[in-house]
Amino acid sequence: MNILAVGCHPDDLEIACGGTLAKYIEQGHLVVMCNIANGDKGHAVILPDELKSIRAREAQEAASVLGASELINLDVPDLEVDSRNKEIISKMTNVIRKVNPDIIITHYPKDYMTDHCETSKIVFEASFSASVPHFYTENSSINHIPPIYYMDTLAGIGFLPQEYVSIENYIEKKLKALECHKSQLKWMLEHDGINFADFVATCSKFRGLQCGKAFAEGFIRCDAWPRIPTKRLLP
């Protein structure tokens, strides 16, 4: 299968579905990771231009740890992710057409900040547009409307998974990928006292508790015609 995972900022995919992506890859599936925002405002001291390139490097390292085939960044500045922006919709549509995914993983429509919620809307709209032949982008239309699975919210708030993926054998890889995002982890630890690796491991452990595994990640299906699959698509 072709899997397209669309996170808002560099590090969001590692946090919410890094173990699942690693599992897909080990099973021989092709995984393309895509971030819409460039992460340029995720630091209180490093200025946006410098941070943007640091975060691009960190994201590339993390994608390599997971074994993704490709990492794409749509280079939208933080806090400017907007589902009414037709250029962003067009860019996302083009990516979906290029990957021709059997499944798309992205943010839940109600997450903790607007960029994430807008990413969810962008993916929903662009994945429909991707199937419309006369919606023109560089890549031509695909012949189906892909199923979407929403990944967990930050800290799992307001999110009760319908499906779980055991990541017992992938938690180490998930955390190793997360650790590539040094600009974020170091900053949060030194200045906010938040151990983000522990935060993410705790969320995975809690989802594991819910499904009888040591570690897991949870997902909710996007139930809209004609996206509902007749077989399990998660690994």
The reply to whether 12 sits near Zn ion by the rule CB under 5 A is yes
Q: State which of residues 3, 4, 6, 8 lies at the interface with Zn ion (CB under 5 A).
A: 8
Of residues 130 and 177, the one with the C-beta less far from Zn ion: 177
* Shortest-Cβ-distance residue relative to Zn ion: 9
Specify the DSSP class assigned to residue 28: T
Question: What number of H helices and E strands is found in the chain?
Answer: 7, 7
- Binding segment for Zn ion (CB under 5 A), chosen from 11-19, 97-105, 176-184, 225-233, is 11-19
Main-chain dihedrals φ then ψ at residue 115, nearest 5 degrees: -55, -40
Of residues 8 and 180, the one with the C-beta less far from Zn ion: 8
The reply to whether 9 sits near Zn ion by the rule CB under 5 A is yes
Question: What 3-state class would DSSP assign to 206?
Answer: helix
The reply to whether 14 sits near Zn ion by the rule CB under 5 A is no
The reply to whether 227 sits near Zn ion by the rule CB under 5 A is no
Q: How far is the CB of 167 from Zn ion (least distance, A)?
A: 20
**# chain residues binding Zn ion, by CB under 5 A:** 3
Beta-sheet strands, E only, within the chain:
2-7, 30-37, 70-76, 103-107, 148-151, 163-166, 216-221
Q: How far is the CB of 187 from Zn ion (least distance, A)?
A: 14
The reply to whether 41 sits near Zn ion by the rule CB under 5 A is no
Across 49-73, b (16+ Cβ under 10 Å) vs e yields: eebbebbbebbbebbebbebeebbb
Q: How far is the CB of 58 from Zn ion (least distance, A)?
A: 13
**Structure-token pair, residue 6:** 């669309």
The reply to whether 107 sits near Zn ion by the rule CB under 5 A is no
- The amino acid at 63: A
- Site residues (CB under 5 A) for Zn ion? 8-9, 12
